[in-house]
Chain A
């Protein structure tokens, strides 16, 4: 049984990290990993009770300071204000942010119901952009910090089984590429994380899952990628090879496959 690693020596890491979308399976593990390294955290989630539970848990386990905020990814008009409040919570100590807001949705439904398709795009792309816009400007003005955002290998190539989700993630990856280009000049690192299948509620009990990685492993990879100021990381790393193969299949052949 995995008890989780003990806290690392305090004082190694500094600063407050903003964790956007903190209650998903992967992001919960990311919040643990950041707290384990001694970061104070501002956590946001749609579900207030869950976000507060996570904040209490991390406080007790790791002795870090945590604050929970309710944030609805689809309430776009509130985002600028919410980000401002989160930045205020950090009391000038904001080191950066990890954003992991996503909605897999039901692809079969999204093919029929354009509102489901819109919800998938709104959550995975629009919401991320409306949250990152004020955050990027703040960090750019400060001239330091990091933004680490969870996209997906699904964005590397559209497949018939989840292309709406894939399209949103492809858009997000492109956005992050451009943002990285812009913020590089002011010393802000933008990291794009491309996880494969991860053992969380998003995949649990669903068909067609393979090479499913434990969320703790992905979280360690994410925090390591931030520490090393990486640009784009596949997690686990072997997905880089898998996606290289998938991207290199000629379209004339790809369209005949059932993926």
Chain B
């Protein structure tokens, strides 16, 4: 009430805990305070931050302002006729699920954690296991309110302020602060997915399975063993499914929309850096693959299916104090097989083992100038933050570029401005719009400065 412009100097990082940087963290509690902070301009620049689940430096702003939206998390309205929800940008997917799943609605698109905010989901234009069918979160947006550097609030939709809309969807928060949004929830009959599990002994088999039968599933992804090499290169477990109908949940005493509560685990402190090494990770990956059996029609609750890692709080601490780099790339269909093979060969031949890796088929791109997904395949993996990690990732970036691929900015911590420009051909259009909205470059982030988007 008394301190809208008070901040705390804090060491911040993304979910990968690399890099760590000091910033002035503001935490407004009233909607009108965001504009006051932006226009008071006590700091040279500002970037908005939600729950800090982007992995790298997208929500960091070294020695400048970071505006946390976590207390601007109010539901504003819901229309049961259309399923359109209006809320502030700081509201988390977890809260939306808690309130709306029991009423028979689910998020139209969700990433692999529910601890993201609506604002972050727009800024990263997040995708989920249903991208091949439904596209990104941006596709389900009706409109949003964007506060630009001058303090002016623009209502943006695919019809109104169309260019600002598509610069902001996937725009990493660099067009301004998203205050609130309206988007469609989708009706569901249960809180479960009917899932099929299918092992693929190598990359060809995995890609063939995706290409052959993906259209039969609303949700589709594969866990991939990045350490397997030779004939087993790219061996995977495909996990695909559809929303389970009400009658499929056979428990007379159970509400199909209320799955059993789970015990929450948490990693209480940083693991010793030696814990996750190439031996333990190889063992885990081997065990994971061999322990899976093909199965069809298995009923899996939404938490286990969409958010397996959310049940382990602070799982990022498993990588120790050095943190890790999440690396996610997309390749177009023509070069996907060659690109994935080259990338997997590079990874399986290195000591930089990845604990968890995910392969997924993408559907067509949208009009977002910096939106990551495009038609083809995407691979996401963790690389422990050992020394030399930045140089190693840059060599991966070069490889990805050769195959016409790109990396996901929400996960990136390393990309160079040259590689970024080559991967995102519409970046110049984005910069033109950003300059128009923010001529003095007051909205910025460590990511923006690193890849040349600071304006």
A interface, CB within 8 angstroms of B: 1, 3-4, 6, 23-25, 28, 47, 49-50, 53-54, 56-57, 60-61, 103-106, 200-202, 204-206
Closest to B30 in A: A50
Give the chain A neighbours of B31 by CB distance below 8 A: 49-50, 53
The minimal Cβ–Cβ distance linking B375 to chain A, given in whole angstroms, is 34
**In-complex Cβ contact of B2 among A28, A49, A54, A202 (8 A):** A202
Q: Is the interface of A mostly helix, strand, loop or mixed?
A: loop
Which of A49, A60, A103 sits near B78, CB closer than 8 Å? A60
C-alpha spacing A153/B30, complex, angstroms: 26
Chain B interface main SS type: loop
* Interface residues of B, count at CB 8 A: 27
Q: Are A204 and B3 in contact (CB under 8 A)?
A: yes
Pairwise interchain contact B1-A202, C-beta atoms closer than 8 A: yes
* Contact (Cβ within 8 A) B8 A205: yes
Residues of A within 8 A of B98 (CB): 3-4, 6
* Closest B residue, CB atoms, query A62: B99
A217 to chain B, nearest CB (A): 16
Please tell me if the beta carbons of A56 and B74 are within 8 angstroms of each other in the complex.
yes
Given A201-B27, A205-B7, are A56 and B92 neighbors across the interface (CB < 8 Å)?
no
Residues of B within 8 A of A57 (CB): 74-76
Contact A202 B3 (CB under 8 A): yes
Cβ-closest 3 pairs across A and B: A205-B6, A57-B74, A60-B75
**Contact partners of B94 in chain A: CB under 8 A:** 1, 3
What's the A-B contact tally at a CB cutoff of 8 Å? Answer: 73
Task: Check B32 against A49 for contact (C-beta < 8 Å).
Answer: yes
Is B271's CB within 8 Å of the partner chain A? no
> In this complex, what residue of B is CB-closest to A61?
B99
| Pairs A–B under 8 Å by Cβ, sample size 7 | A50-B32, A56-B74, A57-B75, A204-B6, A204-B27, A205-B3, A205-B8
With a CB–CB cut-off of 8 A, which chain B residues contact A206?
A: 3, 6
Whether A201 contacts B3 by the Cβ 8 Å rule is yes
Q: Name A103's contact: one of B1, B27, B30, B71 (CB within 8 Å).
A: B1
Chain B residues contacting A54 (CB-CB under 8 Å) are: 74
Instruction: Output the nearest chain B residue to A105 by Cβ-Cβ distance.
Output: B2
A205 to B43, CA, bound (A): 15
The yes or no answer to B365 lying at the interface (CB within 8 A) is: no
| B74 and A23 form a contact (CB under 8 A) | no
Shortest B189–chain A CB gap in Å is 21
In the complex, chain B residues whose CB is within 8 Å of the CB of A105: 2
In the complex, besides A53-B88, A106-B2, A200-B1, 20 extra interface pairs with C-beta distance below 8 angstroms are: A1-B51, A1-B92, A1-B94, A4-B95, A24-B1, A25-B71, A28-B29, A50-B32, A56-B74, A56-B76, A60-B75, A61-B95, A103-B2, A104-B2, A105-B2, A201-B3, A202-B3, A204-B27, A205-B8, A206-B3
CA distance A201 to B32 in the complex (A): 14
Contacts of B3 in A (CB 8 A): 201-202, 204-206
- Contact indicator per residue, chain B 1-15, by CB within 8 Å of chain A (1) or not (0): 111101110000000
Q: Mark B50-92, 1 if CB is under 8 A from A, else 0.
A: 0100000000000000000001001111100000000010001
Task: Let me know if A201 and B78 touch, CB within 8 A.
Answer: no
Measured between C-beta atoms, what is the minimum distance from B264 to chain A in Å?
Answer: 11
Instruction: Say yes or no: is B115 at the interface (Cβ < 8 Å to chain A).
Output: yes
Cα separation A200 to B78 with both chains bound (whole Å): 28
Chain A residues, CB < 8 A from B30: 23, 47, 50, 201
- Report A-chain residues with C-beta under 8 Å of the C-beta of B6: 201, 204-206
Q: Which of A1, A28, A103 has the most CB of B within 10 A?
A: A1
Measured between alpha carbons, how far is A41 from B27 in the docked complex, in Å?
Answer: 27
Determine the distance from Cα of A151 to Cα of B308 in the docked complex, in whole angstroms: 45
User: CA A224 – CA B185 in complex, angstroms?
Assistant: 35
Q: By the criterion CB–CB under 8 Å, are B4 and A56 in contact? A: no
Instruction: A206 to B2: give the CA distance in the assembly, Å.
Output: 11
- Nearest chain-B residue to A52 (Cβ)? B76
Across the two chains, which residue of chain A brings its CB closest to B102? A6
Q: Chain B nearest CB: distance from A7 CB in Å?
A: 9
Residues of A within 8 A of B8 (CB): 204-205
Q: How far is the CA of A57 from the CA of B78 in the complex (A)?
A: 10
In the bound assembly, the distance between CA atoms of A28 and B29 in angstroms comes to 10
Tell me the chain B residues, 354-375 only, with Cβ under 8 Å from chain A: none
The residue on B at minimum CB distance from A3 is B94
Residue of B nearest to A4 (CB): B95
Q: Chain B residues near A47 (CB, 8 Å)? A: 30, 32
A56's closest neighbor in chain B, by CB?
B76
A61 to B7, CA, bound (A): 29
A236 to B353, CA, bound (A): 46
Neighbouring A residues of B88 by C-beta, 8 Å: 53
Q: How far is the CB of A65 from chain B (nearest CB, A)?
A: 15
Q: How far is the CA of A204 from the CA of B1 in the complex (A)?
A: 10
The answer to whether B1 and A201 have CB atoms under 8 Å apart is yes
Are B32 and A3 within 8 A (Cβ)? no
CA distance A4 to B8 in the complex (A): 24
- Contact check, A201 vs B2: say whether CB atoms are below 8 A apart: yes
Contacts of B115 in A (CB 8 A): 1
Q: Is the CB of B29 within 8 A of A61?
A: no
**CA–CA, A77 to B197, complex, Å?**
70
**Bound: A4/B95 CA distance, A:** 8
Among B8, B74, B95, chain A packs the most CB atoms within 10 A around the CB of B74
